[in-house]
Structure 1
């Protein structure tokens, strides 16, 4: 997650564009076929990557389903859709995924039709020390077999104009992550891994595959590792170290970006009925953080 950028001077307040913006809820269906789960297991080099109908979907792996593939002509310069049902009508939007929460009553299961109801939960315009930002929370309810299985909220931050955030000029790809956590999962994401994850999540954002664009347009030193990938990597820790316990709730926050080629580690510490999780590099210990509670 990039540092909060400053709003450009001389522009109208972001909330002035939202007077008539009230998108209605959207219903979607998905068969939850097993292919994407098996594919992501292979990307993460997980043993026994085969997935079958009836298997429970790991927490947040439903991000591989209910995907939206707009026409290519509908993409903006940055690769994101130029327009969309829950995209706020502000000019020159810059989108940053800030965090989210999820409550799991029972896991979704592969091979069984599922329904998703998406709605706008909250819209808040704030002005902080670095400028004006629009916070948008999208709520998603997932039903399967006539029951609500999980409820998720995603927090997205928008601003008008480009970021002025500062990033390292050069990356040290040899330095080990800063961590002494009891749970650790190392990873060195490369362009091929980012490409495969983009394909699995229908993500055409150029910061994940176009290095010249990253440097020249966004001011990054290299390809940016997906925020959702970092979240799923953190959630691998309770799956591996507390496999007999079901995650009932989780929250996560994306703080600073991680770049392809850096040595990273998902770090975890058991805490009472859950665990504290984070993503570390040599530059800092908490690029992303998460908290899970077990049932």
Structure 2
């Protein structure tokens, strides 16, 4: 018996009510997609779990892919995407598997060009390739920086290490201008310095790796170097002590790079397999190949410069 005011639900002859029938158990239940924040939190938790349990690998050079993918590259990504607004082209010239030697121009006081090239290959190459850079001994000998450099997959700029990486099928990056490139005056911007003795060419010949010229526009304007305090450089053990329009005048604020517009272009590979490993012992051939790579990069820089609309607007 129902009480006063109670709602009475009439029954059908079969004994069912007018309420909608429950959904069939066979029908799929829609599960909402996790939000971007939820994915980031889950990724961070998984990363911490791997670090705490030791569930990650490190190769013979000290490369820690897990740390590189989840900490180092993400830390550089805002510079690449938002600050420098890098545009990259020619990625199809970098093989999706196997060895390759990327040879690029160097500039900008601080080697941000090398780091941005790393992000370009990691984030935008179809095979998400890790660039194993050949670094100066100063970078590897500096406390903390040296350890991070190793963990990011980079090693000393020497022929044995280069050849070991290439023989292992890695993409190796080299900046043959070295400190002469990143420490040159702003008046000499986009004028390539000497490419050393061609050691990178010899390494490519011995391993049969293709040489890929890489041209970078934009890095020259991040820290326009208008002077060099040489006695401070000698005192600190640096190759140079830069003076820019903002540094050291503004102190730490002067270290913030100017937001120039960047272009990175990977050129057509120069194949070395047909020449064979014995060609590495031919000084004239090595010199000619070195000069060919240098000239290719220089001409590409001129072309990219002629096409850009402005230093900061692109």
Normalised by the shorter chain, which TM-score bucket? under 0.3
Question: Which has the higher Rg, Structure 1 or Structure 2?
Answer: 2
TM-score of the two chains, using structure 1 as the length reference: 0.27
TM-score of the two chains, using structure 2 as the length reference: 0.26
Q: Which has the higher helix share?
A: 2
Q: Which has the higher strand share?
A: 1
